[in-house]
Amino acid sequence: MVTSTFNVRLAAAGQHLERAQTLRVLQLNLGRLCNMRCSHCHVGAGPDQGATQMPDAVVRQCIAAMDRLQPRCVDLTGGAPEMHRRFQELVLAARARNIPVIDRCNLTILLVPAYQDLPQWLADRQVEVVASLPHWSRESSDRQRGDGSWEQSLEGLRRLRAVGYGTGDPQRQLTLMTNPDGDRLQPLCDKVTDQWRQELARHGVTFDQLIGLTNMPIARFRDWLVEKGRLEDYQQVLENAFNPCAVRGLMCRDTLSVAPNGQLYDCDFNQMLDMPLSGHTIADVMPENLAGRSIHTGGHCFGCTAGQGSSCGGATVAVP
């Protein structure tokens, strides 16, 4: 394997990255079809991406893999994963195996007429909703996701609350995922979370947990950095903020990311950069093919180890 600058920094810190013995998250990327087109999107999703949806044969392979791999969680992402026509079938397959499910929801999809029954449907199956909302303020959020998206997102959150999400019910967990507005880091702490709670409560919105994701210098956000002439500076910000303590909790250790074509990756970001795990697909992978395997890294990995660390589950070190 090519030694990346990231691996050099890891080695200097006395660390190395390899996959864990057990699989925690089976993350299925159902395709890049989305009703939105956000400027920070790291998968380049949009309404014109229908051709990228996971085909039926791969959906069947994913369901079969739930039995072989026995993940502790199935994480459905996209695009807007709900727009995949077999989204509900995947949820039901996981729940029938007693596997918890996460729906990575952009909130505005809940206002599209075809999906208005979705909050109750998800609630009835105890699906955890991880919802992206860049910021509690209208200005900051709309800048990233488009004019009017903040108001639509809050309406989506109110509809989730109406069926019990974000009210402390362990069966109806609602996590909000924030990301910085532009090329900076945005550390979270209890004080920030309290501010989110207060500001959103004024609009009839509550949530169970707030987590942060660092903007990754790939796909559409990378294009934005290039356009602004800020790519190198941002990469330097990430590298300067390298935190060896953030390595232990990196999601690539115990997550398997599955592309719409069934190809396997250590994470969603590697999927976007076409850095696959060779030798197997979701059709045939076994737990022993993953355990202890080296993780593919690159300069983008500094996005996961900057400051508090960043992953689909939020910070990788304890937030003060």
* Nearest distance, CB of residue 228 and ligand SF4, angstroms: 19
Q: Binding of ligand SF4 at residue 157 (CB under 6 A)?
A: no
Query: Could you tell me which residues are beta bridge partners of residue 242?
Result: 306
Give the three-class secondary structure for 292.
coil
Mode of pairing for the β-strands spanning 209-212 and 255-258 = unpaired
Closer Cβ to ligand SF4, 165 or 269, answer by number? 269
Mode of pairing for the β-strands spanning 128-132 and 174-178 = parallel
Q: Binding of ligand SF4 at residue 131 (CB under 6 A)?
A: no
Q: Binding of ligand SF4 at residue 251 (CB under 6 A)?
A: yes
* Nearest distance, CB of residue 174 and ligand SF4, angstroms: 16
Mode of pairing for the β-strands spanning 255-258 and 264-265 = antiparallel
* Nearest distance, CB of residue 111 and ligand SF4, angstroms: 13
Q: Binding of ligand SF4 at residue 182 (CB under 6 A)?
A: no
**Binding map of ligand SF4 across residues 24-43, x = CB under 6 A, - = no contact:** ----------x-xxx--x-x
285, two tokens: 């992978």
* Nearest distance, CB of residue 169 and ligand SF4, angstroms: 25
Q: Binding of ligand SF4 at residue 181 (CB under 6 A)?
A: no
Q: Binding of ligand SF4 at residue 295 (CB under 6 A)?
A: yes
Residue 48: what are its φ and ψ, rounded to 5°? -95, 15
In angstroms, the CA 94 to CA 262 distance is 17
Give the helix, strand, coil percentages of the chain, each rounded to 5. 40, 15, 45
Closer Cβ to ligand SF4, 103 or 266, answer by number? 266
**Angle, helices 149-162/138-145, rounded to nearest 10 degrees:** 110
In angstroms, the CA 112 to CA 35 distance is 9
Q: Binding of ligand SF4 at residue 172 (CB under 6 A)?
A: no
Q: Binding of ligand SF4 at residue 234 (CB under 6 A)?
A: no
**Binding interface with ligand SF4 (CB under 6 A):** 34, 36-38, 41, 43, 45, 78-80, 106, 132, 250-252, 266-267, 269-270, 295, 297, 300-301, 304
